[in-house]
Copies of this chain bind each other. A is one copy, B any other.
Amino acid sequence: MTLKMEEELTEGALRIVKIAEVLFAEHGYSGTSLNAIAKQSGVSKANIFHHFENKEALYLTVLRQASKEMSGVLDEIRNPNSPTEDQIKQYSLQHLMNLFNNKNVTRLILREMQEDNGQQNVSMARDVLGEHFTRVVGLIETAQSENKIKNTIPAAVIAMTMVAGNVFYFQVHKFLDQFPELSGAEVPQNYSSAFSEILLNGILNNKD
Chain A 161-174 near chain B by CB (<8 Å), digits 1 or 0 = 10111011101100
> Which of A152, A172, A203 gathers most chain B CB within 10 Å?
A203
Main secondary structure of the interface of A (DSSP, over half): helix
Expressed in whole angstroms, the minimum distance between the Cβ of A10 and any Cβ of chain B is 16
Contacts of A97-150 to chain B: CB distance below 8 A: 107, 110-111, 113-114, 116, 121-122, 125, 129, 134, 137, 140, 147-150
Q: Decide yes or no whether A188 CB sits under 8 A from chain B.
A: no
Q: Is A200 an interface residue (CB 8 A)?
A: yes
Known A27-B30, A172-B125, A204-B149: A198·B158 in contact at CB below 8 Å: yes
Count chain A residues whose beta carbon lies closer than 8 angstroms to a beta carbon of B: 62
The distance in angstroms between the C-alpha atoms of A125 and B149, with both chains bound, is 35
Residue of B nearest to A175 (CB): B125
Is the pair B158, A203 in contact by a Cβ cutoff of 8 Å? yes
Centre residue among A129, A171, A198 by max chain B CB count within 10 A: A198
Chain A residues close to B by CB (< 8 Å): 26-31, 85, 107, 110-111, 113-114, 116, 121-122, 125, 129, 134, 137, 140, 147-150, 152-161, 163-165, 167-169, 171-172, 175, 178-179, 181-182, 184-185, 191, 194-195, 197-206
